[in-house]
Each structure stands twice: as structure tokens, then as C-alpha cells.
Chain A
């Protein structure tokens, strides 16, 4: 059985790039003062996979994301990405190494156009500095042109036609804002894309399309995807592996079908009353599969 409560931490050697894990978190802990938000979580994502983290509200999922992207430095533990130790590195460095993300409550640069938002996403891949920006030599002009073209391409790729490219992010519809955010993240050429509740606020139709899009991304662009998701249908549908966090610790991990039936998971989600609600969840996921 692949489901095991909090598998013992792997041997404490430098994470090798060739063991199939694009990202490895080893015994990661984050405490805010006395409050432990994430405790001793070990975790790995194989390259070119789609993996979900689920768990009830306040389980520490977003905190975990924030550690992966460098917004928080872990209190203890290590994180390795693509064969490099990225524990406690700055967020911009981590983005440059190839991790990009979206946010639970969309964080676009509201007063910038969709296009400019995606151009900011390419910051780490550009070189123009202070004097380059002022003097604008030919290579900077070329770089600007290329970024603009690439931003348009990204917006097209996520399904936004050119009529919205110049619109200010704040004026876009909710669904389009989500797309721009994904385009902005993709613009940094990530190897790993972290999506924080990407289907929040979407109807089943939109969710299904996004699910298909995630697969397409993985297949066409070799992007590994890690998502936090509440919509069980999406989780069961798209993920190859699921990790369940509760109260900051990992309580289960494995294939969606197995995790779904894990009693600890059911309990974490539903408290003591297991019977009816559990069946409901089961039904939804069954439909999805």
C-alpha cells in the first residue's frame, strides 16, 4: 500500500537530482512564535507529474507553499529543487531557478495591463539594468520586444485574445484574472508551477477546462504542477498523487483513489460524523474519475 501516515524522513544525504524528485522537502517545519503551522513535513514531487496538496482550512497548505517559494524561511528542515538546496533562499532567486506560483486570492498588479503583468513575470529572465534601461542599446530593445511577444504568446496560450491584452488587470473579469495570473507565472519559464486553489470561484465547466489545461501544460511544456485544491472533483481528476495535510502535519499520501478512502483523511475532513457525508464525497469523486 502506498498510503502510509507520514512516511519516515528519507536518509539525510544531499538530495540527488537524479532520483526522480524535481522538488524534495525534508522534515520541513515552520513555526510562528509558539504556533506551529507546518510540522516535520517531508514530501517529494517527481518531474512531469501533477500533485495535489489537500487538507481542511488552516492545515498549513499555503504556509507550505510560501516556504517552497521563499516567502517564508523554514524554521527547520530543508527544501531541494532540481538538485539544489533552496532552503531559505530569496523568493526572486527561487523564481529564477524555476518555481513559479499563483495566489489563493489573486494578486495581480491591479493598475498594470494584462500584458505588463506577464512582462513582470519575465523579470528573472531579463537582463536590462539601470543603465541598460536608460540608454536602451540594441540588445535591450530586442529583449523588450521579445518579452512583449512572449507575453502576448502566453496570454494567447491561456486563452485570452488580444482584445484584453492591453486592459488593466483590475478591469478584467474574475476568470480572466485567474488566467492572467497563470500566464504571468508561466512567463518565467518555470519547471515547477504552484497553483494555490486555482479553481476557487469557478463553475464546474470552467474547472473542467482548467483541469484539461493543466494536463496540456504538463504535456506540451514539461511543467510539473503542484496544486492546493479544495474541489475534490478536480483533485481526483487531475492529480497523480495527493498529499493530505492536517494541523500542519502530513496525515496521508498516495494515489487519489487510496487517499480518498483513508479513514484518517475522512476524519480530518469530516470530524466524527463519517457516514453520510463521507458517502457524498465518495460519490462526487467517483463521478470525477
Chain B
């Protein structure tokens, strides 16, 4: 079987708020000093799901990591390779830049078609930068495959995929025929820690790079030209909350003072 894991490299989500800056002229996040871009954590979880299935199936399964991004995204691909994926393809092209979920999905779907024999695609529940959560669905639509989102468990056997999905008030188990797409939620569990041997092997692997020409895509349908959503403004919300620290000599006094405030504000 052949599985694809979609991996995205993002600005470090753990950048402290004080170091999080936006260039308002370009509507982009200014890379914080001392913070390297990282693999979106949910994609690591998706990779873990694919790896567990591969392990359950034995050696005849293969995992290819795809990433749309800049040269630096090689690091994200290598990270998934170190976890145990087999091959990596970086979809890198100036024409792919400044796209939206739709164009990203278009590029990924083209690459998946290009691979030819893919049985299942694993995506993170959302990218931890834009927090959108569409790409998996859009890849599925582009390929005409069924999709299950927010999976906390995935099994693949006998040509079908069975997923347990996280709902607002519980879980649902669904099954779909292959090929299919799944987006994996954090409830699945943490990604594995790579073995050093695999880190070394991953370092030696070559990541293939593909452009719009390799994928047979027209530059006008990808990147900023193909985007359907236009980012008008990216900004840091102004916090208008001025905290009032409740004073008091003892905890009891603090508690009484707080409750008095809540009553005055008609919350209680």
C-alpha cells in the first residue's frame, strides 16, 4: 500500500506573544529571532497515524511525505522521514507562493495523482499557523475521494478505511472505501520520538523537488493568482482588558471582595 502524509512547515506556534510580530505592509508574520520554523504539530500526528498503519501492515507499505513550501520545508519533510516515512517530495515553486487552502490542495492533489498508486492520504486536522482545517477536505474533493476529518483512530484493511472521528459531544465510527483522505486530530496521541538510527538515515535521503511544470499545473491556477480568499489584513488583536487585581489581607477577604464585584457586575 502507498500512503501520503501532507506536512507543512510553519512559524513556531510557541513564539511568545511578546516576540510575535506582524509586518502590516505585507500582511505576514515576521520570523521571530531565535525561532526556527517547525513542522505543524498536527501533521506529525498524521504521520504517526500513517506509520502505525504501515507497521501493522508489514513491510509492503510505503509512505511518501509531501509538502508545499520553501526550501526550508525540507526540514519538516526530513522530520517525518526520521519518524519512519520512506520518501519525501517538496512541492516548491515561486508560482505556489501566497496561495490559499484551495491552491495548496490543488498542488497536493496534483502531486498525489502524479504518484499514481496512492491508497490513503493523511493530513493534520489543521495547520497550526492559520488554523483553518480545509486542506484535507479540498484534496479529497479535488481527487474525488471520500474523506473523514478529525480522526482519533484510523484502521485500514481490506480496501477500506475505518476512522473514529471526534464530534462535539462524542465520537463516531465511519468506514469508507479506498482511496480516501483522513485528517487526524490531536486526540490520536503524540507523534513518536525518532530513533537516532532513523534520523541518520533520513539525513542521507534525498528529497525530490517538483514544480508546477512537473505537476502539469498552470501558474495562473495556483499560488496568489489562483487563490479564492484574499487576505486583506493580518493584525494583532488589541487587548482592552485591564485586569483588576482583587486585594485583601486574607484569602477570605479576597474571595468576599471578588464575589462583591461579580454581584455588582450582575454576573452572580
Decide whether A and B assemble into one complex: no
